[in-house]
Structure 1
Amino acid sequence: MSGSEMNVVRRSSPAAAGYDHHWFPYTPLPQRPVKPFGQAGLALSVIIDVRAAEWEDALPAVEVPGGRGQAPYPDYPRMSHREFGHRAGLFRLAGILRKAGVPWAAAVDVLTAEHYPRVLSLLQEEASEILAGGLSGSRAITSRMSEPEEEHYIAQTLERLECALGTRPQGWMSPQGSQSFRTPAILARHGVGYMADWANDEQPYAVTGADGQATGAGGLWSLPVSWELSDAASMFVRGVGPAAYVRAVLDAVDVLAEDSNRSPRTLCLHLHPWISGEPFRARAIRELVAQLASHPGVWWAPPGVIVERGRSAQR
């Protein structure tokens, strides 16, 4: 095809803003109505990832981070690294947040809820909210599943967590952010109010459908959780040092707090006990939490509260 022919094709088939799915439309933040969904300032939330990985002799559909990376079974470096979070790291991290008076939420899987009673009691005593985190940290949702298989996975997660916790979680956070194209509709069918899997915004938003019509997701909302500022992406995957991580979060908070003077902003920090609970990172995390707790442009809230404020602002 000649250059002139290619130009004709481009002019006759202009690209339209949008996505290759129907869950929500493209809505750039500057074009949205300025409606506050809470107090003045940046809405800040912390989600601690309290999920266990299983010892498996077959590779999972999504690689579970930890240790030196995926290795042959039995993978002691990875599995013992992950187990540190449930044995020591979580208690150190919870203590830091408790001392600072900072509320926090937890994403919990069925494996943890059913097999780690001391961890479960800590979460029930101190977490301001508990999100459903799947069957385990190593069992991902993928498009390889049939719809009945995925439906069973989500139903089992919610039912077994409700049995262990005494209450049914309203929030959902998939292991490793894993989803299929069916996941939002299945979550909505099972009464989930919001999911925290997509990192594509600075405000919570309704999963309304690309054309504003029903999508099967009902009243489901999406709460963006920062991937770049998760300790897994920053300190574990990219090897960012603790001090540099603190600086990055504080820089982001300063910018978002300033931006929140024009329209609402939220930042959800996703922390893992097997990473941020390590002793050599504890001082930096303690310093970060103390500075955030005293930041004048921040108000703290559990994820569900931020989403509910967003719903109210949209009405």
Structure 2
Amino acid sequence: MIQLPTHGRYDYSAIAKRPDFDWPGGKRLAVYLGLNLEHFAFGEGLGAELAPGGPQPDVLNYAWRDYGNRVGAWRMLEMFDVLDMPASVLANSVMYDYAPDLMAAFRARGDEVVGHGRTNSERQSELPPDQEDALILEATEVLTKAEGKAPKGWLSPWIAESRVTPDLLKKAGYGYTLNWCMDDQPVWMRTEHGPLLSIPYPQEANDIPSIVARKDGADVFADIIIDTFDEMFEQSKAQPLVMGIALHPYLVGQPYRLRHLRRALQHVCQHRDSIWLTTAGSIFDYCVETEAVPGPP
């Protein structure tokens, strides 16, 4: 029989055949916002594009992305305050030098900060292990110094992993990763340094694949969030689930998209008494404290 290459990080498990548990307060659906705060190099490196880029320096696309930090993220912060929604802030470490007042504003809200590399102009998966290790440690040191505590979780820029990324994350002290989108429940993964929790981070209810890749309109992306929520709310009667909503201020912080996003988040908040509106870090803490999710064998 053919043996396909495998990662060896987790085993197959059917969601319908797992032990049942509840989220805090007997809730069945945990919902969190993953807000990406990113900064990009000028005239080089990676970056999403509003329109096909020309020769570097690509001023149009650089400035479009920078709108997210200068305007879009502030509008979203105001919206989160009005809706009383916490956020998991997925932060490039260079954001602390580039936009320290923006990082301070989310810190003042008490939001969780998640490691998100140095900048989204680079992919860590392209580096040899020693350089990837140095990147993780550098980003972690910046976040720890600024926030007064080490981040619990990590999302790689561009969801880029080498074959040793989970091992390096665990070695650096991380408890969870958002890189793997293979499930609607947290899953413990094996690493050389002990278990690392994979918390679901969406690639469907995510504005990058929707708006940048599929060219969905603002109304379509908002409907994706609403329909995903409604369906998972029903599904969670059978199994406790995690719904993440992945957002980038240079996309959904644009005025016409923000209006549709507000409509979607208002729909979610109408059910706040029946769901666990939380952060990725709190999901991790609950899984560790209760041992609700079986660890890797």
TM range, normalised to the smaller chain? over 0.9
**SS in structure 2 of the partner of residue 36 of structure 1:** coil
Q: What SS is found at the alignment partner of 2:245?
A: strand
Contact 1:66/1:78 (8 A) holds in 2: yes
Q: 1 CA distance for matches of 2:7 and 2:207?
A: 29
| Mapping of residues 227-238 of structure 1, within 5 Å | 227-238=203-214
- Asked if 1:116 corresponds to 2:99, the answer is yes
1:229 deviates by: 1.1
Q: Is residue 264 from structure 1 mapped to residue 240 from structure 2 by the alignment?
A: yes
Contact 1:40 1:261 in 2 (8 A): no
Within a 5 Å distance, the mapping from 1:85-234 to structure 2 comes to 85-142=68-125, 144-208=126-190, 215-234=191-210
Aligned residues between the structures: 290
TM superposition score normalised by structure 2: 0.92
Name the CA distance, whole Å, in 2 between partners of 1:265 and 1:219.
20
| Structure 1 pair 27–70 and aligned structure 2 pair: CA distance change class (3 A) | farther
Equivalent residue letter for 1:118 = D
Q: 2:28 aligns with which of 41, 60, 80?
A: 41
Alpha carbons 2:178, 2:201 under 8 Å: kept: yes
- 1:27 has 2:13 as partner: yes
One-letter amino acid of the counterpart of residue 304, structure 1: G
Q: Which residue of 1 aligns with 2:293?
A: 314
Shift of 1:70: 4.4
CA–CA distance in 1 between the matches of 2:199 and 2:100? 29
Partner of 1:130: helix, strand, or coil? strand
The answer to whether the Cα contact below 8 Å between 2:31 and 2:242 also exists between their aligned partners in 1 is yes
Query: Is the Cα–Cα contact under 8 Å of residues 40 and 260 in structure 1 kept in the other structure?
Result: no
- Partners of 1:235 and 1:241 within 8 A in 2: yes
TM-score with structure 1 setting the length? 0.87
Matched position secondary structure for 1:286: helix
Give the C-alpha shift of residue 138 in structure 1.
0.9
Q: Which amino acid aligns with 1:141?
A: Q
2:217 counterpart of 1:241: yes
- Give the letter for the 1:106 counterpart: V
- Identity, in percent, stands at 24
Is residue 186–residue 197 contact of structure 2 (8 Å, CA) maintained in 1? Answer: yes
Shift of 1:204: 0.9
Q: CA deviation at 1:165?
A: 2.4
* DSSP-derived class of the 1:48 partner: strand
Q: Is the 8 A contact 1:131 1:173 kept in 2?
A: yes
Tell me the residue number matched to 2:228: 252
Contact 1:85/1:273 (<8 A) preserved:
yes
Helix, strand or coil at the partner of 1:254: helix
CA distance in 1, matches of 2:130, 2:141: 16
Give unmatched runs, 5+ long, in structure 1.
1-12, 209-214
Would the aligned equivalents of 2:23 and 2:276 in 1 still touch at CA under 8 Å? Answer: no
